[in-house]
Amino acid sequence: MKKLRKQNTLYFNTSLTLVLGFLSFTLISLLLIFHFVLGPMANRAADDLGGLMHILSKSWFSLPANKKQAFQLHLSEQHQLFITDEHVSVTDITIIYPFIPRLEKALHHHVGQKIIIKQDASKDDCFWIFIPQGEQQVKIGFLHERLGPHPSKAIMGILITASLLILITTFLLVRRITYPITTLSKAVDLVGSGKLSTKIPEKGTKELVMVARNFNKMTQKITQLISNRNILFGGISHDLRTPITRMKIALELIKGSDNASLISGMNNDLEEMESLIKQALEFIKGMSKQHAINIEVSEIIAEVVSNYQRQNCIINWKNKACGRCDIDVNALRRVLCNLLDNAFRYSGNKPVDMFCLIKKDKLIIKIMDQGAGIPIDELEAVFQPFYRLDSSRNKKTGGSGLGLAIVQQLCDIHSWKVQLLAREQGGVEARLEITMS
């Protein structure tokens, strides 16, 4: 049952349904043929042979001795039957022959008493029938091949041939049905991983051509939408940065005036606006997948840790080998930096523990802070864009709400897995899982 559950695919389920359906139809057809055609034919053949043997036994009993040899020769050549009144060594039949019970029934009908067919003691394929005539027994023998048609062999041959044809036809038919679906599924996966140029060949039946055409149109529209969005955000960032730059210049020009607090507030607002624009652009750029290279992951981690240590941030990290894998370096660096930024921001810049381990084919990176933690029911929600635990959105209690959204987006694109887990001793554990290849 477990193996069948694992094979829960459209190809397997459709093939199994068709095979069971066709085999059931074949079996029912064979049963009907046997019951209404082969069975009556076998009964008729057994009745004819039983009647012939009864007549032969009477003829043999009434023949003079000098004509019996010629009669034996005639029966052997014309009817493949042996007849004698001499002793014959026989034994019980040990193998089931479908025709034998029918012949015994026919003999009982013609002779008027029960006749048991025996097997020749020296020949497995020879059978004898003892028919009483007066005080003697007439012994009539025949070879197995004399029976002629073999219904059981015919049924078995039909069943095997039908089964092979059903299996071959089913697998070819189902493959023809499921192949376009498999192609579409692979194309969807490619589009989901960022390869928006993926196209499906528009060929096949009318329905398949329509699906392929609509899919290709959809990818074109998605590409155009993303392009338009990038242009829009690029224009917004440019239009915002231009007045910000002018304001900075103006602030430099009025330094030294009596409005020092106003100038300081304006500077802070400008820096906040520029930071927000920068993170928004990072969120947009995260949609594109960069080229992966084969590298020792610990080198990337060591570089990130070193940058934070230069900013007087304490990270407890033991530089050790984490294994090599094909990875987008910029994406991993951005994910680690955003997770570390969160760890320091919400723990009041307390030391952060960082570990790297390999479990089977998974590379696991853990970042653990000593902050107040996140409520369990919000551990998933914080990955949403612009989501903040503080509903007031006070800039003193958190960032823009895009850091973890960027992390989630990058992980989805690269098929990584990121989780936030509550620690028993307080704080949050950020766990990043990467499949090594």
Please name the helix (run of DSSP H) or strand (run of DSSP E) that holds residue 315, with its range, or none.
strand 315-317
299 part of a folded domain: yes
pLDDT at 4 over 50: no
pLDDT at 320 over 90: no
Which residues does residue 294 pair with via DSSP β-bridges, in sequence order?
326
157 part of a folded domain: no
163 part of a folded domain: no
Q: Rounded to whole angstroms, how far apart are CA atoms 90 and 106?
A: 21
More confidently predicted of 78 and 389: 78
Residues 255 and 374 in one domain: no
Half-sphere exposure of 279 (CA within 13 A, CB side): 20
CATH number at residue 260: 1.10.287.130
Q: Rounded to whole angstroms, how far apart are CA atoms 418 and 401?
A: 17
Residues 230 and 137 in one domain: no
Domain that holds residue 377: 293-435
Instruction: Please report the pLDDT score of residue 234 as a whole number.
Output: 62
CATH number at residue 378: 3.30.565.10
Percentage of the residues of the chain whose pLDDT score is greater than 70: 80
Residues 144 and 97 in one domain: yes
Q: Rounded to whole angstroms, how far apart are CA atoms 98 and 232?
A: 85
The domain tally of the chain equals 3
Mean local confidence (pLDDT), 37-46: 82
Mean local confidence (pLDDT), 150-159: 73
Please list, residue by residue across 369-382, b when 16 or more beta carbons sit within 10 angstroms of its beta carbon and e when fewer do. bbbebbeeeeeeeb
CA distances from 49 to 52, 105, 106, 188, 287 (A): 5, 11, 8, 71, 86
Residues 124 and 37 in one domain: yes
